[in-house]
Amino acid sequence: MYSETVMDHFNNPRNQREIPDADGIGEVGNQKCGDIMRIFLKIHDNVIEDASFQTFGCGAAVASSSMATEMIKGKTLEEAWEISNKAVAEALEGLPPQKLHCSVLAEEAIHAAINNYLEKMGLEPWEEGEGSCAGCSGCGTD
């Protein structure tokens, strides 16, 4: 069900670690949906020098976190903020429809981490888009 890129990022996650002295930390997700994502940022001169993640969740959640951290490294905060869940999903060569919310989570986690940094710096947080756990849906059993 997953693309090769998803499986690659799941099996060999990039940036999967804690950054102990992170400048911004964002945590999103909800245990009902079964996904929690935490993103750590190291920021210098408005540029993301390092990014990492910890994730409790399915394959798509892990891969989305991994891909998202890759995508924001070296970007300015503004550029990173603009990275959409679609961009993450596309970079992963697609996600199953019911897993698209994982890429949304990644976008939200980036936003949360950036805002956490801004708040620490005494700045106004930027305005958050719509988040959702809309992918949650029923289960077929054996």
Partner 1 sequence: MENKHEIYLDNAATTRTHPDVVSAMLPYFSLHFGNPSSLYSIARSSRTAIEEARRKVAAALGADEREIFFTSGGTESDNWAIRGIASAHGKKGRHIITTAIEHHAVLHTVEALEKEGFEITYLPVDEYGMVSPESVEEAIRPDTILISVMLANNEIGTIQPVQKIGEIARSHKIIFHSDAVQAIGQIPVDVRTMNVDLLSISAHKFGGPKGVGALFIRRGLRIDPLLYGGAQEQRRRAGTENVPGIVGLGAAIERAAAMMSEKAERMKKLRKRLIDGLLTIPKSRLNGHPTERLPNNVNIIFDYIEGESILLLLDANGIAASTGSACTSASLDPSHVLLACGLPHEQAHGSLRLTLGEETTEADIDYVLGVVPTVVQRLRDMSPLTPKELRTR
Q: Which residues bind partner 1 (CB under 8 A)?
A: 1, 7, 10-11, 13, 16-17, 27, 31-38, 54-59, 61-62, 96, 98, 135-142
Quote the least distance from Cβ 122 to partner 1, whole Å: 26
Q: Give Rg (Cα) of the chain.
A: 14
139: annotated active-site residue: no
Per DSSP bridges, beta strands 24-30 and 35-44 are antiparallel
Q: Which residue of the set 33, 58, 133, 136 is catalytic?
A: 33
- Token look-up 């994730």 returns 55
Question: Which of 85, 74, 72 has the alpha carbon at shortest distance from 28?
Answer: 85
Phi, psi of 65 (to 5 degrees): -65, -45
Quote the least distance from Cβ 121 to partner 1, whole Å: 23
133: annotated active-site residue: no
Quote the least distance from Cβ 22 to partner 1, whole Å: 13
Give the residue numbers annotated as catalytic, written as ranges: 33, 102
